């Protein structure tokens, strides 16, 4: 069940009270959610398409329905949306917004190349081209914010288009029994997921790129496939036991997980990802990527 915009905005306001240090980013997420809904209202069909006769063949072969990294699509509409998202940063975080604008107007920036690179592994060399300044130990927090926002806006620029595909073919994909750790709709790796007590503790991974959620084995790393229990672990922060981080000590990667009791309604995991950024920081400090 999709979380309504009004409920998501109420959750954001609540988190701004309990986690005021994330207020700016939460305000940006609120603006994004509003922009996304407006985009969806004005679009008829997605710029992406699925060859329906090949769906089962792709699912069996571990291939996502949409191949963005190698196929050619008309991305002029998402590109225009990306530029409109920059206005959000300029309004909410003027200094960071100016740095973003300076960067995307420079000769170094190739929006389409960045989009394609983002569908590789997070440690992929091509993707790291756009992360060099993030990994520089001398970078300022403000510069970190600006480049994180570029990642966020780039991902969001395709979200409404891919969300339509996820909604249209999600039921078919669920029946196909997809067992990979990357998204069956678009191929993107997850950053967050959930475990529901009402469904016998099943773990679901969430794709920020298209909004799809799929069931994935609880004792298995979604990134390297490691299922050896002794090398898989998790940690929580005291007082926040419903938010945890699943880690793999083989590939040294992690994913955040929200544990949901039976009674709770659906959560907006885009918002939860922002509200749990401290868990990312802890994971990085512990040497997980």
What is the pLDDT of the chain when averaged over all its residues? 89
What is the pLDDT averaged over residues 224-236?
97
> In whole angstroms, how large is the CA radius of gyration of the chain?
18
Q: What is the pLDDT of residue 144?
A: 44
**DSSP state at residue 131:** T
Q: How far apart are CA 149 and CA 129, in angstroms?
A: 16
Take residue 156 and report the two structure tokens written for it. Answer: 């969001």
pLDDT 10s digits, 89-109: 999 999 888 888 998 888 888
Are the C-beta atoms of 282 and 235 separated by less than 8 Å?
Answer: yes
Mean pLDDT within 240-263: 94
- What is this structure's pTM? 0.89
CATH number at residue 26: 3.90.1670.10
Tens digits of residue pLDDT in 115-143: 988 887 544 433 333 333 334 433 444 43
Higher model confidence: residue 190 or residue 202?
A: 190
| pLDDT at residue 200, rounded to an integer | 76
> Which of the pair, 198 or 70, is modelled with greater confidence?
70
Say what the pLDDT of residue 133 is. Answer: 37
Determine the structural domain holding residue 63 and report its residue range: 5-285
Measured CA to CA, the distance from residue 2 to residue 95 in angstroms comes to: 34
Tell me what percent of the chain is helix, strand and coil, each rounded to the nearest 5. Answer: 50, 10, 35
pLDDT tens, 21-42? 999 999 999 999 999 999 999 9
Distance CA 173, CA 195 (A): 20
| Distance in angstroms (rounded) separating the CA atoms of residues 166 and 90 | 31
Tell me how many domains the chain contains: 1
- Read off the pLDDT of each residue in 64-85 and give the average, rounded to a whole number: 92
Instruction: Answer for the pair 96, 149: CB distance below 8 angstroms, yes or no.
Output: yes
């Amino acid at each position: 069940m999709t979380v309504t915009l009004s409920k998501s905005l109420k959750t954001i306001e609540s988190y701004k009270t309990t986690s005021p240090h994330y207020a700016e980013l939460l305000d940006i997420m609120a603006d994004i959610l509003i922009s996304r809904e407006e985009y969806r209202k004005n679009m008829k069909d997605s710029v992406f398409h699925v060859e329906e006769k090949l769906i089962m063949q792709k699912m069996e072969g571990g291939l996502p329905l949409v191949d963005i990294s190698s196929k050619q699509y008309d991305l002029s509409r998402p590109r225009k949306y990306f530029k409109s998202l920059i206005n959000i940063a300029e309004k909410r975080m003027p200094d960071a917004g100016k740095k973003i604008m300076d960067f995307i107007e420079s000769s170094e920036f190739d929006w389409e190349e960045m989009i394609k690179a983002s569908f590789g592994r997070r440690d992929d060399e091509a993707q790291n081209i756009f992360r060099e300044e993030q990994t520089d130990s001398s970078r300022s927090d403000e510069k970190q914010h600006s480049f994180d926002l570029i990642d966020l806006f780039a991902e969001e620029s395709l979200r409404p288009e891919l969300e339509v595909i996820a909604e249209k073919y999600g039921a078919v994909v669920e029946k196909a029994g997809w067992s990979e750790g990357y998204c069956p709709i678009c191929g993107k790796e997850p950053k967050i997921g959930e475990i529901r007590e009402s469904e016998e503790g099943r773990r679901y991974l969430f794709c920020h790129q298209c909004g799809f959620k799929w069931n994935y084995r609880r004792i298995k790393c979604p990134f390297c496939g490691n299922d050896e229990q002794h090398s898989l672990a998790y940690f929580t922060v005291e007082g926040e036991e419903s938010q945890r981080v699943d880690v793999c000590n083989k590939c040294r990667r992690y994913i955040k997980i929200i544990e949901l009791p039976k009674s709770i309604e659906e959560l907006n995991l885009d918002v939860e990802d922002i509200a749990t950024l401290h868990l990312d920081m802890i994971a990085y400090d512990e040497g997980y990527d």
